[in-house]
Amino acid sequence: MTGIAQYGTTLIPYTVQYRVRRTLGIEVHPDRSVVVLAPTGIHPDLIRQRVMRRGAWITRQQRYFDRFLPSRPVREGIAGETWLYLGRRHMLRLRKATRPTVKLTRGALVVHLPDPTDRAHVKRLLAAWYHAHSRERFAHEVLKALDLLRTRHPVRTPKLSYRTMARRWGSCTASGTLALNPDLIQAPVMCIRYVVLHELCHLVHHHHGKEFFALLGQVMPDWRRWKERLEKNG
């Protein structure tokens, strides 16, 4: 469900996500989008009124994220571009070869393929390479995070999935399904660790209340630093 609230002369579009929870929460994402986490059954008018009352905070958050725009340029798959992997920039090099491969070597992403001018093929190869490496890295980080979290709570192992999301780095359902955005593999390892721990803490607390952030602070005391870095780099 979507809606629009008016704060002064500013229109605030928002998306509503209904969940099993007692309180209503509002999130402002780095792309300036507003998401309302609402208890199931709450009347739409009450949601709109809450967004209006939080208008000052919402617009302040949006202005904060505006500081980090514009976002990274779109990669075209041409030699000389820089591509991110685990927070580091790597120059893209293209080499003609019969067998298509992608290798990370000496600070460069080297793509071998029959036609180095075929940008679409270059981007497909890189997408597959990123996806494979994200699965491996994320699975490793989830296991480490679970070991850390289990020193405080006996959480179960979630079902891990990978899904490209326009507005989120990850999500975790109450039923125990953890979804991570493959694009997160471009971020520093500590940013990945923050997202994984953040989402796994929802296995214990299915909200963003005081108990949730207290637990997150226990398992990752400097989480705010990595959250801000992730938001800054988009």
pLDDT tens track for 173-217 = 877 889 999 989 999 999 999 999 999 999 999 888 889 999 999
> Are 98 and 166 part of one and the same domain?
no
> Are 10 and 25 part of one and the same domain?
yes
Number of domains in the chain: 3
Percent of the chain with pLDDT over 90: 60
> Are 118 and 138 part of one and the same domain?
no
In the chain, the amino acid numbered 115 is D
Has residue 218 got a pLDDT over 90? yes
> Is 111 among the domain residues?
yes
In 71-225, beta strands by DSSP E: 82-85, 88-96, 101-105, 108-113, 159-162, 170-172, 177-180
> Is 106 among the domain residues?
yes
In the block, residue with structure tokens 């080499």: 95
| Class of residue 29 by CB neighbours under 10 A (exposed 0-12, middle 13-18, buried 19+) | middle
Domain boundary among the residues 23, 38, 66 is at 66
The pLDDT, as a whole number, for residue 70 is 46
Domain hosting residue 50, numbered range: 2-66
The interaxial angle of helices 44-53 and 55-66, nearest 10 deg, is 60
Q: Which of 98, 181, 173 is nearest to 135 (CA)?
A: 181
